[in-house]
Structure 1
Amino acid sequence: MTSYDALLLLSFGGPEGPDDVIPFLENVTRGRNIPRARLEKVGENYYRFGGVSPINRLCRDLKAAIEADFAAHGVDLPVYWGNRNWTPYLADTVRRMKADGITRAAAFVTSAYSGYSTNDQYLEDIARAREEVPGAPVIDKLPAYSDRPGFLDPFADAARDALGRLPGGARLVFTAHSVPLSQPNRALYVAELEEAARAVAERAAPGTPFDLVYQSRSGPPGQPWLEPQIDDHLDKLHGDGVRAVAVVPIGFVSDHMEVVYDLDVEAAERAEALGLAFARAATPDTDPRFAALPRELLAGSPHTGTGERP
């Protein structure tokens, strides 16, 4: 662990007020030729919450929780925070790290999985940010952690709690962000999601039936994406006689807008229209077991080759 002189918390970013929404969405979709009208339509989801995504607040809280875990275990490393798509931008954070004399940092990203958008894109962002900062510190991305107890156990407790708020016979429905079928490393992403869902279901309620479905797809209607989408799956479950569902956002580590809108609003409204009892499990957020993951990953990969380098 002494090989590193800092930890970088790297996340997606999100708007923190109405004026931020469209510029943020332009950052997210840059180079994809998304029409302005489409951005404004998506922006309505954010305006419903005052133009504020919860993700930046949760990152601040997670940073504080990681710092507290470090202090409790004698880890003397500063923790920095940078985002891909909104302030604090990653390049600005790297610039500050250089000014502070940091030479080598480990990056903990708020994405638990392998795959392109959940891993490779972060490596590209790290490389791009370092190119913008001459003499930037080396930054090693810590490994994916979807199989770690610090990720699975908080989800298991949350899934058990959600089931406890429902009548007997509820079904577990795990959700993750859909991606195009053509996306690189899509199969690895799906395999890790399937294993994480199985592990959480076994911990939370052995023998309870469960499904893995997807949410939040975007892009051209004719482009194939991972399916089924959660709303379609709720329709199917209702048709099959299921009367209650506990939805577990296994693809997310905190309450992104895709969780608080796509699940807490859209999916919940669909379930209500169908007469399905509905409960959404909490994400790990700042659970102490999750906040301990950076320390645990650092202990296992200080220059051992298990960290992933851009």
Structure 2
Amino acid sequence: MMTTRMASLKVPEVVPPPAQDCERLRKAFHGLGTDEEAVIRVLGHRNESQRKKIRETYQQLYNKSLIHDLHSELSGHFLNAISLWTYDPSERDARLINDALKKKGSIFAAKKGVKDWQVIVEIACAFPPQHLLAVRQAYCSLFDCSIEEDISSHISLPLRKLLVSLVSSYRHDKEVVDTIVAKMEAFQLREAIEAKQLDHDYVMWILGTRNFFQLRATFDSYKQHFSSSFDEDILKCGNGDFNTLLNVAILCMNCPEKHFAQVIRKSILGLGTDEDSLSRAIVTRAEVDMAKVKIEYVQLYKTSVEDDVKGDTSGDYESFLLTLLGTKQVWVG
């Protein structure tokens, strides 16, 4: 099996041709009942480019959408998770943003609250700039308007100002840091804290413009000069929706693996499971940094993601999540 250093996804050394994968999926759909394990064996062990080839080949061979057939054959949280996984990542995230904004009751729907806007922040702040650009393009293509337009139509100030600033950004993605600028902007952030004006234009400009390496240097400089972190001081300014969401943005920029470890933990704790958040966290990070998320999770909670998933999920849904986490061994040849 092969996996990238930070990803948890495991891909076989020799991957079958897309037509062979499509044939296996077709058989899984058309036997006596759906063979969900066969679906997991194929899709749960293919990377983004391989899944794209499977989608395209499936359409060519059977003149049908693979996503459509998944919806016809599967159900529940398993369907929700594997649908997210099978979509092209930019389309997946465009749909997640649209649903967070419009709450149409689709398979991606989550409970109302700051958690909805958190999805938008994750996509804007926890992925490379090129991904956000692709998501913005996919959004325009799918919904005939921009993300910024829909945010402006559905969210009021000051949250609108923060979210538009984040999704409109196209950051420089190389490790370029100016320590003088970092110190200067750390002091500007402090001024906003002292004035309790966290939605000030220059705060939005700093957070929505600077590359992530520069921002981490700024946050480090802030802590060095003021003996507390910027996110800690934000909480001292209040615990409203804006402050909560601003802290999510900072954590996603500064340490995305910690953010997603927290998302997974919160989705499992309490009465019932928040399957939407659990699925989103595992699906969107399995090819990015889930190996780091799992390490962070153990450090924070003294237990493993895998054990908590096993304790809170069941059936095909559990099997699929464990497959993406790289711990459930199935035949994939």
TM-score, normalisation: structure 2: 0.28
TM-score, normalisation: structure 1: 0.30
The answer to which structure has the higher helix fraction is 2
